[in-house]
């Protein structure tokens, strides 16, 4: 656990008692603060009370609070602030989250280390979980002490106490970067940007602004920026003092990057690192089975750059890439039968992520559908050339199928039927791919449950 420092004796409200909320309450108490907690769910309050925390309606405690710590799923501005947060805003009580507490506390403890630890943060729309897990894997495979936390793995305040030279890798969502009052990573990664969570951020500009805080307010020593979209180009331009400023490492998948600065890019399956106008390393990604497709090659470039920024050699990174198995629900190869591969990419919950999955394989029996997001499905058209047929699931299956651009579609509704029909139709050399391009909440609690169902149906066939 990382005790929260700087709030000894202060009463701190904790709103939301899921993983990050309870973790924050424990870390606050460990650091000498006095947490007062609340969750609208009575069973969550009972669990907290069983650990000795005082549960009380925080709207009635604002005059006592020094700070309000909020879990990431609770809206603080758009579409409307949660009533407790609205009360805090009116009372002038600072609103924060566990990420802010982590950086606040970490910054007060550096004197204890001979070799100061490093913090690498990863944000973006797609690929941040894979990139974060890959950085963690590469560090561990090279013998560096590393912990993975944040939006993946453990809550950030639940990690073990740091040791000399260790590295903390944090995946951060826009919900987390938008609210944290302290953001001071050593290395910050921006993978890419595509429309997502727009209601929560008041539109595309607000969504980008939430991501940008990690770089503009965090001031990382090194910023690794995916420049395949305009927002990434803009962000890299804002952070660099000139073309040769190697505090910014530009990353691309598909485009050769030139200039006197520091670049890492992938083209035709090869990763290249260039610095000061010269190539310094190259890695063949085509045989890295845990990272299929151009979108995963972008993840590999970002992870490579982050590890180079903390001192790993290209050969160490290359060895680690080949032992990376990938993450569940993200281009996860479930199995193969009669020359047909089954791939679970349930995490492809938006159009951009699904498009990248479609572009990773040449002949696809596509299991898709779910709770559609804003913007429609037209942007999928470039990847639909690889689709032999779509098998549509979800409560909106008919409406979803009508929006698919130029694709033969069968309405299946259930995962069981979709997998069975796709497997029956599939020919050797084809891929049965779950890449929903939609949220899961019409039929499943989350994308993991949806992916688990796909895997279960495939395992029946295998």
Binding residues: 124-130
| 350-363 burial code (b ≥16 CB/10 A, e <16) | bbbbbbbbbbbbee
Distance CA 275, CA 261 (A): 6
Distance CA 15, CA 29 (A): 15
Distance CA 441, CA 373 (A): 11
Tokens 């944040």 belong to: 150
DSSP calls for 6-33: S-TT-EEEEE--SHHHHHHHHHHHHTT-
Binding residues for ATP: 124-130
- For 40, what's the count of Cα atoms within 13 Å in the CB-facing half-sphere? 6
Distance CA 242, CA 31 (A): 43
> Element (H or E) spanning 318, and its range?
helix 314-322
Q: What is the dihedral of CA 376, 382, 385, 388, to 10 degrees?
A: -40
> Element (H or E) spanning 282, and its range?
strand 278-284
């Amino acid at each position: 656990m990382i005790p929260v420092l700087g709030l000894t004796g202060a009463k701190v409200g904790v709103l939301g008692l899921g993983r990050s909320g309870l973790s924050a309450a424990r870390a606050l108490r460990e650091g000498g603060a006095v947490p007062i907690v609340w969750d609208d769910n009575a069973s969550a309050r009972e669990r907290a009370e069983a650990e000795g925390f005082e549960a009380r309606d925080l709207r009635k405690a604002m005059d006592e609070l020094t700070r309000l710590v909020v879990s990431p799923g609770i809206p603080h501005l758009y579409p409307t602030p949660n009533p407790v947060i609205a009360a805090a805003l009116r009372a002038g009580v600072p609103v924060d989250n566990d990420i802010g507490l982590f950086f606040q506390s970490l910054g007060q403890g550096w004197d204890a280390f001979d070799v100061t630890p490093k913090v690498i943060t990863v944000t973006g729309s797609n690929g941040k979980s894979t990139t974060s897990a890959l950085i963690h894997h590469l560090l561990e495979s090279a013998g560096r002490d590393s912990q993975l936390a944040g939006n993946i793995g453990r809550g950030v305040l639940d990690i073990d106490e740091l040791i000399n030279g260790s590295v903390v890798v944090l995946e951060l969502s826009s919900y987390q970067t938008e609210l944290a009052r302290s953001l001071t990573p050593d290395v910050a990664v921006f993978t890419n940007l595509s429309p997502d969570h727009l209601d929560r951020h008041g539109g595309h500009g607000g969504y980008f602004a939430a991501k940008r805080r990690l770089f503009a307010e965090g001031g990382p020593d090194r910023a690794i920026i995916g420049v395949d979209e305009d927002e990434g180009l803009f962000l890299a331009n804002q952070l660099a003092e000139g073309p040769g400023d190697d505090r910014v490492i530009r990353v691309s998948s598909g485009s050769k990057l030139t200039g006197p600065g520091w670049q890492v890019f992938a083209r035709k399956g090869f990763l290249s690192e260039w610095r000061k106008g010269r190539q310094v390393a190259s890695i063949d990604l085509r045989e890295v089975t845990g990272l299929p497709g151009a979108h995963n090659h972008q993840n590999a470039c970002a992870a490579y750059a982050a590890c180079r920024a903390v001192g790993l050699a290209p050969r160490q990174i290359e060895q680690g890439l080949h032992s990376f198995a990938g993450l569940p629900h993200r281009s996860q190869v479930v199995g193969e039968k009669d020359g047909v591969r089954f791939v679970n990419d349930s995490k492809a919950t938006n159009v951009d992520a699904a498009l990248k999955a479609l572009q990773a394989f040449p002949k696809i029996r596509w299991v898709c559908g779910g709770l559609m997001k804003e913007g429609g499905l037209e942007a999928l058209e470039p990847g639909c050339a690889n689709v032999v047929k779509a098998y549509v699931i979800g409560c909106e299956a008919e409406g979803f199928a009508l929006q698919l651009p130029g694709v033969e579609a069968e309405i299946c509704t259930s995962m069981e039927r979709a997998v069975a029909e796709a497997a029956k139709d599939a020919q050797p050399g084809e891929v049965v791919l779950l890449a929903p391009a939609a949220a899961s909440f019409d039929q499943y609690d989350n994308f993991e449950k949806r992916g688990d169902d796909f895997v279960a149906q495939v395992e029946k066939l295998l």
